[in-house]
Structure formats: C-alpha cells, structure tokens
Chain A
Amino acid sequence: MKGSSIDRVYVGNLNIAARRARDLLLGKLKLGEIVDWATTFSLWPVHLLTSCCGAEFAATWSPRFDAEQYGALPWVGPRQTNFIVIEGTVTRKMACALRITYEQMPNPKFVIAMGACALDGGLFYNSYNIVRPWEVVPVDIYIPGCPPPPEALARAILELRKKIREKNIASKWLIEGWRNDRDYVSPKEDVCRWWRP
C-alpha cells in the first residue's frame, strides 16, 4: 500500500529527503521552509513529569515505540528544548513550575497536553488544588485518554509536525517575532504568587 505523499514526508522517506536536500542546495527552497523542516525533525521535549502519564511518556521513548525516530529526544535543560508534554494533572504549585519552564524555552516552542486530567481535570475535575493547563500555557495538541497509550503520543508528535509544516508556524514565529495564528495565553490566576507583595 502506498500512502499519500504527505504522509511519507512526515515519517521520513529517504528518496524524498534526498530530493529536498537537492532542492535546498540548488536554492529552490526558501529559508523559512528549511526552518520548518528542521524544527519538525528536532522537537525535543523537556523533562517535566507532572503526573502518572509520565510512565506512558517513558514508554514512548522505549525501544518498542521508539519516538526518537521522529527526531524527538527528551532533554533535561529547558534552554535546549522547544517542546513540553504536559503529562496529566497540574496542581497549583506545579503550574508555577510549568509556566517558568515554558518561559525559559527559546522560541519557537510547542505544547502537547496529554491525558484526561490535562484536558479538563479528569479524575480531579472537582478538586480545589488543580488548574487547567490551557489556562497557564498555550496548548497545541490535546490527547484524550486515561492514560493515552504510547502510540497516541507518537501520533500527536506526528500531528504537531504536520501542523508546523502546513502552517509554517516555526518560520513565521521567527520572522514576525511572535506567534500570530493563536492568542497569547497568560495565566489569569496568580500561579507563582508573585502579584501580591
């Protein structure tokens, strides 16, 4: 079975990659496209395990599912990464750490919210101590499930890459200086308790 040409680009095809490299060397591609192409193949998530979906996050990078084939490698320092996977519920104290980590990462940066808790509270939807992650950071892709399987996270990474390539998010972000295709999200609550003296 032959997939569509666009599918083959996103999972990596040697012939297409060679053709693109040739176009790139001959100057047929714009610089912005190269930036988008490079960003999709280097989405490095930062280690910020908020909850139990972190086990699925670990399994995604295990040899069986091997998310490193998409160019994604979990890394420790937020200054060297451009991608956050929010694994599960975010408590009020963790929201501060999440926002600080997000602010420390260089542009362009992307967020995937994983699990029912990250979508709308999940098990803890009526709790006094959680916040919704989309009130704290701008989220690109949501993955439902409790917990989502590793395949779902791998698929979400592919969808994020598709989105970056089709909308040219990374290159536009670098050229214009900020992200125009969605609203800026700043926390309405005082997550780090810096507003009050």
Chain B
Amino acid sequence: MVEALSLDNIINSIKLNLEGLVKSISISKGYIEVVVDASHIVEAALKLKSMGYDHVKSITAIDYPKESKIRVVYHASSYINEDLAKTIIGLTADIPRDNPVIDSLSQVWRSVEFQEREVYEFFGVIFREHPDLRPLLVIPELAEKKVLRKDFIVKEESIYEGIPHKY
C-alpha cells in the first residue's frame, strides 16, 4: 500500500513537475499558492492536470490599483486522487491592469468556462480563446463598468429616497 503524501511531498512534486515555470510557491491560508508567469499558465495547468488535479473549484481575481496589476487565482483540486483531494492549489498569475488579457484554461478544465465568464464581467479580464465570452449574471451595461474593481464607486443612497407612492 502506498503511503499518504505529506504536504511537503506534494510541494516537492509540484516543484519537480512545473520546473522552470514556477515563480514562487508557498503555503497560504488553506491552499498552496503557486505563482506562475501569465504567459505560461496553460502549460502549468496542463502539467497540474497530468499530476491529478482534475477540476477547478473557483476562480477569482484581486485588484491591486497601486501596483497596477490584477491577480487571477484558479483554485484547483482533485476528486479521484485521495491524497491530492486534501489540498487545494492556488494557480496564480499577475497581469497588467490597463491591459488585462490572459489565456483561457477552458481547454484544460471544462468547468472553468462559466467561472471565467464571471471574472470577465466583474473585473473586465479578457480570456483569450474562450469559446463564449459574454457576461453571465449581470447585464452587459453593468459589465462594462467592471463593478468589482476598486475604483468603481457605488453611489450612496439615502434610505428615505425611494418611498413607494400612495394610491
């Protein structure tokens, strides 16, 4: 019987498999953060998939207006491999804020497709070679405003502004 993989073993095997692609690797809160270059993200995702990470749990983006970058994070994990299922990989790439273009991973993991559409509508990140890139939850006029970026300011409303008219 094969012994259970420890966290260090998993990190070492990721370092081995993704040699030359990883910028930095660290244990973050709850997941292993793997930072790669934005141009190598498809390559890194393919290697992670061949290791056994078969699905993506969520995709998110973080806006850093002072550093003028957007960080896209893919949380990948495994269903089939029991040892890898205990860990979550945060596959991370930084892209410039004024030209937020990154390669789509929908050819690697099919579950990514809808979640990339959500990141597109909230942050304006454009995923190259995405099969169907249009807003998912909000209307297109709102998607143009990129509502979850830090520089989008929600208009303050008074609670008493809109009282239903009497009839």
Contacts and interface: CB of A to CB of B under 8 A. Distances in A.
Are A and B interaction partners? yes
Interface of A: 91-93, 119-121, 125-129, 132, 134, 139, 142, 181-183, 193
A149 B69 CA distance: 47
Q: Is the interface of B mostly helix, strand, loop or mixed?
A: loop
Interface stretch (B39-47, B107-115, B152-160): B152-160
Interface of B: 137-142, 145, 147, 154-157, 159, 162-165, 167
A127 B137 contact: no
B167 A183 contact: yes
A115 to B, nearest CB: 14
Contact of B138 (A119, A129, A142): A129
Contacts of B155: 126
B157 A125 contact: yes
Given A139-B164, A142-B164, A127 B139 contact: no
A32 B140 CA distance: 47
19 contacts: A91-B137, A92-B139, A92-B142, A93-B138, A93-B139, A119-B164, A120-B159, A120-B162, A125-B159, A126-B157, A127-B154, A128-B145, A128-B154, A129-B138, A129-B142, A132-B162, A142-B164, A183-B165, A193-B140
A186 to B, nearest CB: 14
Contacts of A132: 162, 164
Given A125-B157, A142-B164, A183-B165, 9 more contacts: A92-B138, A92-B139, A125-B159, A126-B155, A126-B157, A127-B154, A129-B147, A183-B167, A193-B141
Contacts of B145: 128
Contacts of A92: 138-139, 142
Contacts of A125: 157, 159
A132 B164 CA distance: 9
Nearest to B135: A93
Contacts of A126: 154-157
Nearest to B158: A125
Nearest to A129: B138
Indicate the member of B145, B159, B162, B165 with the most A CB atoms within 10 Å: B162
Contact of B142 (A128, A181, A183): A128
Contacts of A120: 159, 162-163
A181 B166 CA distance: 11
A193 B167 contact: no
Contact of B137 (A93, A134, A193): A93
A133 B163 CA distance: 12
A128 B145 CA distance: 10
A134 to B, nearest CB: 5
A126 B162 CA distance: 12
A103 B164 CA distance: 21
B162 A182 contact: no
A182 B154 contact: no
